[in-house]
Amino acid sequence: ILSKITFKENINPIGIFISSNGGKIAVLGSTYYGLIPRFTSYYAENVFTTIYVYDISDKTKPTLERNFTITGRYFGSRMVDEYIYVVVGQPAYVIYDTVILPKIYKDREVMEVRPEQIYYFPNASDRSYIFTSITAINIANKREEPNVLTVMMGETGSLYASRENLYITFHDKPNQTSILKVRIDRGQLKFEAKGTVLGTEINQFSMDEYEGYFRIATTTWEGGETWNNIYVLDEKMNIIGNLTNIAIGEAIDSARFMSDRCYLATSVAWKDPFFVIDLKDPRAPKVLGYLKIPGFTRYLHPYDENYVIGIGRDENNNLRISIFDVSNTANPIEVSSYVIKGEWVDTLALSDHKAFLFDKQKEIMAMPVSIIDGLRWQGAYIFRITLDHRIDLKGRISHQEESGRQDPSRWVKRTLYIDDVIYTVSEAKVRMNKLGDITLIGDINLS
């Protein structure tokens, strides 16, 4: 360990960004100060989002260069070039007859968002007014001031970013999703348009921007019935194409847009239809083919243009990893699978895509896995995916003690590789193994 940065007790780190030259690092965190009174008997959260920018050109002596504090709860962030875009939501509330507007604290300076700077849409539902602020910060240039754009809408849903635009969804009305489009250009923020579609998306992978069009997959729940939809919107966020009533009675479990196709996995009664949808003509999306397998698929990841990796569960609730061949779009097939069995099996990759590691050239796939099968085991499964699309287990890496006593600080949460070494990361340590045969190299203790 070359150096260590310690934060105040009430700061919970939630994200890290590194500049392209490796000389700066931005650490995002959340700070909670309890409740503050709103009216006679109502209270509001006193939550702040913090951003610390460090100069780490000397890795042995990181120095704090700037710090920002934004009023509100952290929602999401993205980095494009040297700029980080941080999205924060602050409830619109009144304290002692005063409307509390968003603020940004830069070191000892205060930037308050003025009422005339806030975008508002009159037809938005007033169920839960939220000030959603996007703050753009250049982490490489300390002289550049941050920019902020604030919108007053409902509760935020998902965040998607291309190199030119941010898209934020809001669910301000039942069975309806509003999408806010914000242009980003080297830290400059410009509101572009707002669009609306029926249904709700499940996460960021339900959205995509391709050749100037925005695509989104949603599920509609109405009158005890469900169905699924694909919408294509133009640059002004007007719907120009749609495909509705997909898989009536089912709901989307996972979605992935890849070029001019969309892959959907829906589920009903532990059966998992996998759909291939053609988007070559944005005005006329259509289903090309589908496959049904037992269980459900919760996460889809591209292997290449003809193959897709799926992670989910089989009909016995075991963890199932599949490879789908979509080269024949009318007849997608499952060409390989690997099942991890146990009384209870789970992986963080089902809910957090950052826990999933895949590299086609290295033929490696890895993810944290937890198993209860008499005894409890937790660690990382390391797989080799061969050119003929076989899934072979290379090995398992655990940080737990040999005594079998479970220590949550030793639960593996991330895997990564550098050259021919694979690193598994828990709160307690970083373990290094050879990528070839998974033999142990050594540990770096973090606690």
Going from N- to C-terminal start, the domains of the chain cover 1-177
**What's the pLDDT at 40?**
44
Query: What's the 3-state SS for 405-423?
Result: CCCHHHCCCEEEEECCEEE
pTM: 0.93
pLDDT in tens, 187-205: 999 999 999 999 999 999 9
What pLDDT is recorded for position 378? 96
Q: Is 329 in contact with 379 (CB distance < 8 Å)? A: no
**Measured between alpha carbons, how far is 308 from 257 in angstroms, rounded to an integer?**
11
Residue 412: Cβ within 10 Å count: 27
Enumerate residue ranges in the chain where pLDDT < 50: 39-41
At 126 the pLDDT is 57
DSSP state of 74: E
**Is 231 buried (19+), middle (13-18) or exposed (0-12) by CB count in 10 A?**
buried
Q: What is the pLDDT of residue 113?
A: 92
Amino acid at 50: T
